[in-house]
Chains A and B, each alone.
Chain A
Amino acid sequence: MEIYLPIAQMPVDPFVLLAMGGLVGLLSGLLGIGGGFLMTPLLIFIGIPPAVAVATQSNQLVAASVSGVIAHWRRKNVDFKLGTVMLIGGAVGSAVGVALFAQLKALGQIDLVISLTYVLFLGVVAALMMIDNFRVLVLHRNVVARRKLHEHTALHRLPLRMRFPRSRLYISALLPFAIGFVGGLLVAIMGIGGGFILVPAMIYLLGMPVGLVAGTSLFQIIFTTGITTLLQAVSTHAVDVVLAAMLIVGGVIGAQIGTRLSHLMKPEYARLAHALIVLAVAVKLTLDLFTRPENLFSVVPLGMQ
């Protein structure tokens, strides 16, 4: 059985999409990640045009982050004030990102920029996570308790300081704004939620309590992915709702199974698995960038007349 995707303008097997959504959902539930950085390459791999993959992925992430935030909110694990400052930065970031995406697409360099940002961000994050895993699993040190509560760095001297009672922080509002901005940029350019970069930034740069990080980053991801979906729909017309619907259904089922299985897995090992997956994707993309491609040519129709 095949179903025709109206925007991607191609037929696909719906079970392949359900399985992909389910697999990425399973990993996201199991490891507590968004999984966008896996889904976009998978969609491109099965032949979905990159522009459609990125735009549709942002729509699917809205659903995933809404259900995630509701779960965290029930446990009171969301700092709405800090999240709001982040999402203002995120809104600006995704607007800049969508404009940049259109510009780079016209120049024919969007693939390169997507690859390079993936390699850069995934590589750095994978390295940081591997170091942490090494500390925890080999040296048996706790990751998070490293930083003292009132350690002051250059980041604390920035202006516009603001109190965030839920996180017990008194920091410059520019910090969460900047983190949100980068997150918004990544949603627009890479079609990912950006959780893998937001979460470590919130822990290490803001010094936020770990328990609040996942819920708060998801809270801001709802808005950046939502705004990006709207902007993509208006500027590139590349959001495919039929594709999104199938990914959402698969993702939701996968995430439920994953969350249940996650109780069987020690958090250290979940983090290690997460780091290894991020590392694998970064290595694969780096290799792709530096090895001579089988086909040197890419052929893109500019649209019917």
Chain B
Amino acid sequence: MIRRLLLLLAILALGTPARGQSLTADLSSHIIGITTGFVGANLTLFGTVDKAGDVVVIVRGPPTDIVVRRKHRVLGMWINGSSAVFHDAPSFYSTASSRPFSDLGMTPDTLARHMIGLDNVKLQTADPVAEPAFSEFRAALVEAQERLDLYRATPVPVTFLGEHLFRADMAFPANVPTGTYSVQIVLLSGGEVIGAQTSSLIVSRIGFSNGVFNAAQHHAALYGLGALVLAVTAGWAASLVFRRG
């Protein structure tokens, strides 16, 4: 019995695809393309459940390292002193839920395991940082990401159309980081997880902005020369216009 329970926990922690067919869901699109005119994107998540229950959706952006620095007063000046490097922090975090997290009836452990709520986003430093410094650095990171609209504290609604069909409209801001996202959908009954599904979403630059970015990354010298030619030509053209004007 205990072994079975442990196995169940392990499977849950890994985020398996649909278990026991109790939950089926999909996104309206699995790719968000960032073009020059990109102003953000909206995706709709549709799904059905066998049994009535609560549905929570957790969207996490590709893991990234984030450094947080604290300013200290040195010789009267406020300069960067202590710092913490957060390893594999989600670059984006947004949720949807059929009711407020506090009303789901979940234990703190279950909430933490599924990273439901900003307080439960897994943020770990590369080197151990003692308390209370760690909490301060963590709070600063979360606040900065919230200000950029990259972390969202409140879930958007998951609405049920009838008893089995549900939908959620997920919004992505224009500054959304590129990479592979994980979209986890969890079905709850009485605070217990009875079904889960994980699906992925790719955010990538396309067209002109992708070309510019790739050139700057992979053909840096040529790109730099191009930028120079552009600037010299523009300056020269301006002086021609100026002389005639």
Contact = CB atoms under 8 A, between A and B. Distances in A.
Interface string A290-303: 11110111111111
Given A10-B175, A67-B242, A244 B68 contact: no
A62 interface: yes
Q: How large is the interface on B (under 10, 10 to 19, 20 to 34, 35 or more residues)?
A: 35 or more
Nearest to B212: A6
B174 A11 contact: yes
Interface string B40-78: 000000000000000000000011111111110100111
A2 B34 CA distance: 13
B234 A63 contact: yes
B201 to A, nearest CB: 15
A133 interface: no
A304 B203 CA distance: 12
B232 A62 contact: yes
Contacts of B37: 2-4
Contacts, number: 196
A67 B69 CA distance: 41
Interface stretch (B111-119, B189-197, B221-229): B221-229
A10 B144 CA distance: 16
A4 B64 contact: no
A241 B227 contact: yes
Given A66-B239, A112-B79, A304-B177, A299 B228 contact: no
A34 to B, nearest CB: 13
B65 A292 contact: no
A4 B174 contact: yes
A230 B62 CA distance: 31
A59 B242 contact: no
Contacts of B230: 59, 63, 241, 244-245, 248
A71 B144 CA distance: 46
A76 interface: no
Contacts of A59: 227-228, 230-231
Interface string B103-144: 000000000000000000000000000000000110011011
B152 to A, nearest CB: 16
Q: How large is the interface on A (under 10, 10 to 19, 20 to 34, 35 or more residues)?
A: 35 or more
Interface in B27-45: 34-39
Contact of B68 (A3, A70, A226, A297): A297
Contacts of A153: none
A230 B79 CA distance: 30
B64 A301 contact: yes
A255 B228 CA distance: 20
Contacts of A239: 216, 223-224, 227
Given A67-B236, A244-B230, A290-B76, A304 B68 contact: no
A67 B136 CA distance: 50
A300 B242 CA distance: 42
Nearest to B150: A301
B102 interface: no
11 contacts: A2-B39, A6-B212, A11-B174, A296-B70, A298-B68, A299-B144, A301-B65, A302-B66, A304-B91, A304-B179, A305-B64
Interface of A: 2-4, 6-7, 9-11, 59-60, 62-68, 70-71, 74, 108-109, 111-112, 226, 229-234, 237, 239, 241-242, 244-245, 248-249, 252, 255-256, 259, 289-293, 295-305
Please provide the 3 A-B residue pairs with the shortest distance between their CB atoms, ordered closest to farther.
A66-B235, A233-B224, A297-B140
